[in-house]
Amino acid sequence: MLWLPARCLLRPPRRPLPAPPRRGSSGPGRRWLLSTPIFYVNGPPHIGHLYSALLADALHRHRALLGPGPGRLATGTDEHGLKIQQAAAAAGTAPSELCAHVSGLFRDLFSQAAVSFTDFIRTTEPRHRRAVQCFWAALQGRGLLYKDFYEGWYCTPDECFLTEAQITERPDAQGRPCKVSLESGHQVHWTKEENYMFKLSEFQEPLRKWLQGNRHVISPEPFYQVVLRWLEEDLPDLSVSRERSRLQWGIPVPGDSTQTIYVWVDALVNYLTVAGYPDAHHAWWPAAHHVVGKDILKFHAIYWPALLMAVGLDPPEQIYVHSHWTVCGQKMSKSLGNVVDPVACFKQYTVDGFRYFLLRQGVPERDCDYYEEKVIKLVNSELADALGGLLNRCTAPSINPSGIYPHFSESCFRKGSEHMDVEASCRALAEDYELVASVDRLPFQVTDYCEHFQIYKALESVVACVRQTNGFFQRHAPWKLCRDNPAEKCWLDTVLHVTLECLRIYGILLQPVIPATADKLLSRLSIKPEERAFTDLTFLPRYHGKPCPFEGRKLGPDMGALFPRLETARRRQMEIKGLRP
Ligand code: MSP
């Protein structure tokens, strides 16, 4: 028996192509109706809003990669309520004008950010007004509404009533004591009026049962626990209308012109409106998957499922919860003047650069901090240097003068034990087999992470593979191999082939996060649009004894850098002025 160096013994496990994800609702062939929250139009969009939309977009794009199951992504604007009425009054404009203007800003931002929404709903649209009024009639028809005098603290910025235990006292800007919400810090006012009440208390037990029977319905898990704890406390009935004399900017209660429907009931029903309620929602409901920020969890995980149960509909299939972005360690707020404009970020970091940053650094379980240097460091190191540098190195004309997808040679990179008798020609090392195993596994990992709403982890695993591939390339230094020597040429082509194959897999998997950059990468590798789905993720087919359709193909013509290196605004300014930073 031949002596074999230990480095040759590590072999990649062979697995069939990724199976559909585990949880039934989102696999190929199943419907999904993903949604972002709908955004208040009292101010322009900021990076927190963009983050909510990008998370939903990345999930939507990832699922589309898995197969042609019908999927939709809905977003839009939440335009009624006291908050908007007051913002319009303060701006000296009609609410409808303010709404049209700010809603347009959100729509434009999401288009620019490549958010692949299939519906953009405005709650001022007639289709929505009809849905809300039908929904109200269904609640009333089931005897779940009653009129009562209600008094309590109301927080207009959060559009919600709060109990005594949910408020505290703090000095305002002038040092006067004022009552604020414990959770958001926003000011509250004492309100007393006659309202319609929804019998929420009747749903405490059904809600508990629903959650206990669906342990994965709210993720990440800590938020599921939070909701269970809320349900251990008292669940009082919910005021679901406001006096019209106080709130005119909203949908009137059907048959009672003195009342306006509570903005949160109005807003939540948007998810049904986009599904086609009241006539055509059965094709889509309850395949609803909501992405929401932690501040609006109670509305989505308690009020909304209870309202749905009340009208005889199932609760949503999935609620994905994310935390918030702070800026240089501080909460983003108009009063602090630190609200970050996403359009300015696109200018500074490019759309894909900023998408990448938010999705790679955003951890749903905890708040994350934004500052310029952090974006630049991350994007330069992972997109410009690690990924872009790798593409640049392995496609450089000096190393690949014919500009084609090079051939793979099995004798240089033997599979399994076959290399025992041809040891001399097999150039692959143990680390190279580890690379093959890692990239083979990668699509499974990425899918699993995305299904668990851990997009940041999916990206982390891609980056780890990119670094491993750089190591492979560096280790074999193909620039030192001589093309005129047939044995060296075989190995040189194999090294390039393996590297391009790795890049092809990364390009396909990165499409949901950096669609333009992934397109550029795949086009450079000459991968056609119809070859970029999950079923095309068979890595290194030649190594596995299958034909490779890409071998011998002319590479794409764009030889420019995949991703430009970014610089800080200060450094750019100094360069413009001709000063050395
Ligand atoms: N209109 C309601 C949602 C109704 S959904 C039926 C609303 N709008 S919002 O404009 O205030 O917030 C929309 C989303 O942006 C929420 O998911 C919220 O968590 C998110 N964000 C607002 N500020 C944020 C950060 N600083 N960071 C991350 N997301 C943040 O609530």
**Probe residue for ligand 1, chosen from 49, 339, 345 as the CB with the greatest number of ligand atoms within 8 Å:** 49
Alpha-carbon distance of 492 to 508, in angstroms, equals 25
Coil, helix or strand at residue 434: helix
Alpha-carbon distance of 64 to 34, in angstroms, equals 12
Which is nearest to 276 in space by CA: 136, 142, 110, 130? 130
Peptide bond between residue 529 and the one before it cis (omega within 30 degrees of 0): no
Which residues, other chains included, contact 262 with Cβ-Cβ below 8 Å and sequence gap of 6+? 238, 239, 240, 241, 242
What was the pLDDT predicted at 424?
63
CA of 36 to the centre of ligand 1 (A): 9
Alpha-carbon distance of 24 to 549, in angstroms, equals 33
CA of 109 to the centre of ligand 1 (A): 15
**Probe residue for ligand 1, chosen from 274, 324, 366, 370 as the CB with the greatest number of ligand atoms within 8 Å:** 324
What was the pLDDT predicted at 63?
94
**Probe residue for ligand 1, chosen from 34, 42, 57, 78 as the CB with the greatest number of ligand atoms within 8 Å:** 78
DSSP string, 308-331: HHHTT-PPPSEEEEE--EEETTEE
Alpha-carbon distance of 320 to 516, in angstroms, equals 26
Q: With DSSP H G I counted as helix, E B as strand and the rest as coil, what are the percentages for the chain, rounded to 5?
A: 45, 15, 40
Which residues, other chains included, contact 425 with Cβ-Cβ below 8 Å and sequence gap of 6+? 411, 412, 487
Q: Which residues of the chain have pLDDT under 50?
A: 1-28, 417-419, 422
Which residues, other chains included, contact 214 with Cβ-Cβ below 8 Å and sequence gap of 6+? none
What was the pLDDT predicted at 118?
97
What was the pLDDT predicted at 297?
98
- Atom from ligand 1 closest to the CA of residue 323: 28
What was the pLDDT predicted at 13?
37
Kindly report the protein residue whose alpha carbon is nearest to atom 15 of ligand 1.
49
Where b means 16+ CB within 10 Å and e means fewer, 128-137 reads bbebbbbbbe
How many whole angstroms from its chain centre is CA 5? Answer: 45
* Predicted TM-score of the model (pTM): 0.92
Which is nearest to 361 in space by CA: 116, 64, 60, 54? 54
Instruction: With residue 189 as reference, give the H or E element that holds it.
Output: strand 189-198
Token pair, residue 239, equals 């005021």
Kindly report the protein residue whose alpha carbon is nearest to atom 8 of ligand 1.
39
Kindly report the protein residue whose alpha carbon is nearest to atom 7 of ligand 1.
39
Alpha-carbon distance of 449 to 438, in angstroms, equals 15
Which is nearest to 413 in space by CA: 14, 15, 11, 17? 11
- Atom from ligand 1 closest to the CA of residue 304: 6
**Probe residue for ligand 1, chosen from 35, 181, 296 as the CB with the greatest number of ligand atoms within 8 Å:** 296
CA of 130 to the centre of ligand 1 (A): 25
Alpha-carbon distance of 382 to 26, in angstroms, equals 30
Alpha-carbon distance of 235 to 256, in angstroms, equals 27
Which is nearest to 96 in space by CA: 82, 80, 73? 80
What was the pLDDT predicted at 580?
58
Kindly report the protein residue whose alpha carbon is nearest to atom 22 of ligand 1.
48
Ligand 1 neighbours by CB, cut-off 6 Å: 37-40, 48-49, 51-52, 78, 267-268, 270, 292-293, 295-296, 324-325, 332
Alpha-carbon distance of 308 to 275, in angstroms, equals 14
Alpha-carbon distance of 365 to 353, in angstroms, equals 23
DSSP class of residue 187? B
The order of strands in the sheet holding 325-327 is: 330-331, 325-327, 368-370
CA of 324 to the centre of ligand 1 (A): 9
Kindly report the protein residue whose alpha carbon is nearest to atom 6 of ligand 1.
268
- Atom from ligand 1 closest to the CA of residue 78: 1
